Amino acid sequence: MTKLRHNFVYAAAALAFAAQSGLASAQDWKPTKDVEFVIPFAVGGGADIMARVIHKVMTEEKLVPVSIALVNKPGGGGAVGVGYMSASRKADPNTLILVNGTTQITPILMPEAKTLTEVQPVMNVMLDDFVFFVKGDSPWKTAADFVKDAKAKPPKTYNFSTGGTTDVMAVTVLAKTTGTELNMINFNSGGEALTALLGGHVHATLGNPLEFMGHMKSGAVRAIGVFRDTRFAMLPDVPTMKEQGINAPPFQMWRGVAIPKGAPAEAAKYWEGVMQKVVASPQFKAYLKDNAASEAPIAGANFVKFLDDQDKLYRDLLKK
């Protein structure tokens, strides 16, 4: 059993025991001081945008009886932010941290990095599909056009910006699926990856719709393929990769929240209840709709199992 999986199984067992013994009700615990919400990514990326929406809902709807401060700690595919939390907020239940596919893939690619092993998962709130983007004035109208061109050029002719290890995985899957060699230029967030594309410093990027919707509407960027089995309802003119003859598997970014490892189980249950209210709010539902994202509330032990399954999926994709 991998160390990551062992931690998840342990966390699931702890949550189950607490629930059965009646110690984990939301009434047993509530924040006793101002809360820090750690965002282990730079301002402007998809993770940061989602965290700020969650923060806005919690604040405006008074879901938490204390103030909540957002703290961005980007770098290392989430490892810097998790390291900050472990050092300064160790086992502190008055702490939330955003977690996503990047914080899970980072230790797969870099085993020395500590990310999900340092947290107690609370709840996943949404899923994002990946989309192939180029600049609005790019000569490529479809992903198939791009792949055909890339195969005719020397290896690594074309540069992709990436905003985290999940983006790196997506580009790797594209390259392996199409038999191309693509050059990746790494940034601290999806926002920085988008800026590089808009500035013409890279040829393309793979990202989640929520980071690009405004620029798609203005024509500054163009979506040329989606990594899912069906087209987006909001983007009906953008074909799937498989429709274009590219056998790339569906690939998604999960996004959720956690608390520090070692925090009381009743605190995890409290925050789970808060997140349930966030996901159910009209404001959060509108945010998902506007950004072509999928609602996916997965809480407690079910979230732990989901992460274990995702770990297996990511490792299998890398092998392929």
Rounded CA separation 33/13 (Å): 28
Asked if residue 291 has pLDDT above 70, the reply is: yes
Mean pLDDT of 127-145: 96
156 or 109, higher pLDDT: 156
Q: Is 3.40.190.150 the CATH number for 3-127+254-319?
A: yes
State the helix-helix crossing angle for 165-178 and 143-152, rounded to 10 degrees: 70
176 or 197, higher pLDDT: 197
pLDDT of residue 8: 45
CB distance 157 to 13 below 8 Å: no
Burial degree of 27 (CB within 10 A; 0-12, 13-18, 19+): exposed
Q: What is the separation of C-alpha 44 from the centre of its chain, rounded to a whole number of angstroms? A: 13
CATH 3.40.190.10-classified regions of the chain: 131-244
pLDDT of residue 282: 97
* Fold classification of 131-244 (topology level): D-Maltodextrin-Binding Protein; domain 2 (3.40.190)
pTM above 0.85, yes or no: no
Band of pLDDT at residue 109, cut at 50, 70 and 90: confident
Band of pLDDT at residue 320, cut at 50, 70 and 90: low
